[in-house]
Structure 1
Amino acid sequence: MKRKLIAAVGVAAMIAGVAACGSDGGGASAKDPKDRDETLTVWLMNDAESTWPELVKDVNKQFKKKYPKVEVKVQFQQWGDKTKKLDAALGGDKFPDVVELGNTETMTYILNGALAEIDPEKYENSDSWIQGLKDTCTYEEKQYCVPYYAGARVAVHNKEMFKKATGSEDVPETEEKLTSALDKLQQEYGSDKAFSPLYLPGMYWYAAMSYVHAYGGTIADYNEDTKEFKGALSKPESVKGLKHFMKLVNKYNHADRTKDELDHANVMANEKAAMIYGNSWEAGSVVEGESGNPKLKDKVGTAVMPGPGGKPLPSFIGGSDLGIVEKSEVQDLAEDWVSMYTSADSMKVLATKKILPNNTAQLEPLKKDPETEAAAKAVPHAWFTPIAPGWTAVEKQNVLTNMLVSMVKGESVEAAAKKADKKIDELINNEA
């Protein structure tokens, strides 16, 4: 299956663009770096602006030293409208040369031809990039983006509540002991009907699929013979995981079970939950920020989430990648900037911010840091959504969340999973 060109770019325009890029890019790259005078536009998400602005500043300074006449425009984007803005930009003539993409977004832009192929050898630590992130950049054995940082979900808990109810502020290492602790938390705080020992929303599909994977199930399987994906949620292993998830939701979540997880840090900040299953950085959100509760400072901890069978719960691997736009006429400059921004020194800066770096070598020390231990240990064994051409459509049409809501409302797991598989089969093999 070949990558499509973005819809707004006609074949003739693309040929002209490639020819122009080839001549301009070749001529430009032949110049002395100090004579380059183009503009490089970089789109980063607002996390970089708010949490590690010094890294952006230092890399730009490093880049400016090599290319003193090149203007670097770093434009910070919001997750809510980035995709819409990017699609419009790619269809016009004012687009970024480098763009940060959430790792669930990359496949769409790889398949529609928006991202240029990259050579991993040009980037430091590429031999130890976290496999789950590298996979999100790979299609047909070629790579189209550079891993930026990783994320994983962990148990975020109120240590004070756990201590009062169970005698220990720690999350137990096995699920059997965890559910016992949750029962004690219910006894201690259950007079508040809005309190949930474990706030696990019914629409939280990342959590649901973690339980699916814990039992050996998958969202969809790939058939090497047909070269197609097929929905696998109604398989016995997946059904076991979905039933396990729904059991936890129904027993321990006493709030609206038809919601998603977007406000679960706020629920915990309001002391209406003793525990959530969230991104490691959400422990900070419980305490800090506009909706945080500063009274919980030093009372919120993270731990590996216990899963079925005495093993940790497999986590979805989150994070971001950096892509170089195929239409860019300064791809060599873009490569150099991304190389500097994802170097070992740059990853060291992210690690000081408790952000997981893009490679296993620099991830290792974070497994010994209490603040990052749980997430760092979860990353190497994490799972990811199917690397399929139609996965974006599956997400956009809310196939998984619709299935989960049906289960919460009383439909059998088996019936709801079969319907979801049917819808997945309609969408997952079709390029957007």
Structure 2
Amino acid sequence: MSSANSIKGLTQWQDLAKNSTVAPKDGKDAEPWTAFNNGQNAMFMAPSWARWSVDKSKTADLGAFALPGTDGGAAPVFAGGSDLGIAAKSKNQDQAFNLLKLIYSDDYQKLLAKNGLGPANSNFTSLMGTDEFAKAAISAASNSKLTPTSPNWAGIETSNVMEAFFGKIASGADVASTAKATDAELEKALNASS
């Protein structure tokens, strides 16, 4: 978070958060389509499945595009975010493994894609369709980055470290010192012994 390029981007994002949005400053915009449905904003950022949360009377005005990057293509985003795995202390590891095999099977991945949801297997993205929602989702996914390979990543998600970080930045906190402190917090959490 505290690299020079990150500070530059976060500073620009802070300006957007201050001057160009009605989103909550606390980073807890769990349902960003609500303000759109209520006529309070003209757009929102969300995963492709969020289109089904938009009030049907407003869908005629709904479009989609991948978050733009600085190079003219799609910006890098996290792929997924949540981890699928088998708990070391699970009493049903064989059943859990069978579930994972089902989720990652070609048939299930095709089912996700055919229903407009991003499959984990990029071989099936063409099944998502050709509308602007599918194109935006495919574009974003094609430039995605995986979450850190630490077994502690799930703890990062549940602790809301990132939401708190962006909430502080949106509320006007010093970008450099907040990024440095968050780096230290992430480093400690990701490398903690289990």
Q: Indicate the TM-score class for this superposition, using the shorter chain for normalisation.
A: 0.7 to 0.9
- The alignment status of 1:243 with 2:11, answered yes or no, reads yes
Q: 2 CA distance for matches of 1:315 and 1:412?
A: 24
Q: 1 CA distance for matches of 2:99 and 2:147?
A: 29
Counterpart of 2:148? 386
Q: 2 CA distance for matches of 1:371 and 1:279?
A: 10
Provide the aligned length of Structure 1 versus Structure 2: 193
- Taking only the aligned residue pairs, the percentage that are identical comes to 27
SS in structure 1 at match of 2:133: coil
Amino acid at match of 1:253: T
Q: CA contact under 8 A between 1:249 and 1:257: conserved in structure 2?
A: yes
Q: CA contact under 8 A between 2:7 and 2:176: conserved in structure 1?
A: yes
Q: 2 CA distance for matches of 1:345 and 1:397?
A: 34
Counterpart of 2:135? 373
Amino acid at match of 2:65: A
Q: 1 CA distance for matches of 2:102 and 2:16?
A: 45
**Structure with greater proportional helix content:** 2
Amino acid at match of 2:112: L
**Structure with greater proportional strand content:** 1
Q: CA contact under 8 A between 1:389 and 1:430: conserved in structure 2?
A: no
State the Cα deviation string for residues 284-338 of structure 1 (Å, max 9, x = none): 101xxxxxx231133212112222232322222116665456644682x665565
Counterpart of 2:51? 283
Q: CA contact under 8 A between 1:394 and 1:427: conserved in structure 2?
A: yes
Query: TM-score normalized by structure 2?
Result: 0.81
SS in structure 2 at match of 1:313: coil
What aligned pairs does 1:111-126 form with structure 2 within 5 A after superposition?
none
Report 1 or 2 for greater relative contact order, CA contacts < 8 Å, sequence distance ≥ 6.
2
State the Cα deviation string for residues 79-103 of structure 1 (Å, max 9, x = none): xxxxxxxxxxxxxxxxxxxxxxxxx
State the Cα deviation string for residues 254-279 of structure 1 (Å, max 9, x = none): 35423422021111111111111111
Q: CA contact under 8 A between 1:389 and 1:428: conserved in structure 2?
A: yes
Q: Could you tell me how far 1:412 is from its partner in structure 2?
A: 1.7
- The alignment status of 1:306 with 2:74, answered yes or no, reads no
Q: Residues 420 and 330 from structure 1, CA distance in 2 versus in 1: closer, same or farther, beyond 3 angstroms?
A: closer
Q: CA contact under 8 A between 2:125 and 2:138: conserved in structure 1?
A: yes
- The alignment status of 1:359 with 2:127, answered yes or no, reads no
Q: 1 CA distance for matches of 2:83 and 2:157?
A: 19
Structure 1's unaligned 5+ residue stretches are: 1-232, 287-292
Q: Residues 343 and 408 from structure 1, CA distance in 2 versus in 1: closer, same or farther, beyond 3 angstroms?
A: closer
RMSD: 2.8
Q: Residues 283 and 422 from structure 1, CA distance in 2 versus in 1: closer, same or farther, beyond 3 angstroms?
A: same
Q: 2 CA distance for matches of 1:310 and 1:271?
A: 30
Structure 2's unaligned 5+ residue stretches are: none
- The alignment status of 1:350 with 2:112, answered yes or no, reads yes
What aligned pairs does 1:24-423 form with structure 2 within 5 A after superposition?
233-286=1-54, 293-318=55-80, 323-324=85-86, 327-328=90-91, 331=94, 335=97, 338-340=100-102, 342-366=104-128, 368-423=130-185
User: Which is higher, the Rg of structure 1 or of structure 2?
Assistant: 1
Q: 2 CA distance for matches of 1:336 and 1:395?
A: 25
Q: 2 CA distance for matches of 1:339 and 1:410?
A: 46
SS in structure 2 at match of 1:296: helix
Q: Could you tell me how far 1:384 is from its partner in structure 2?
A: 3.2
Q: 2 CA distance for matches of 1:390 and 1:348?
A: 30
Counterpart of 1:424? 186
Q: 2 CA distance for matches of 1:318 and 1:427?
A: 20
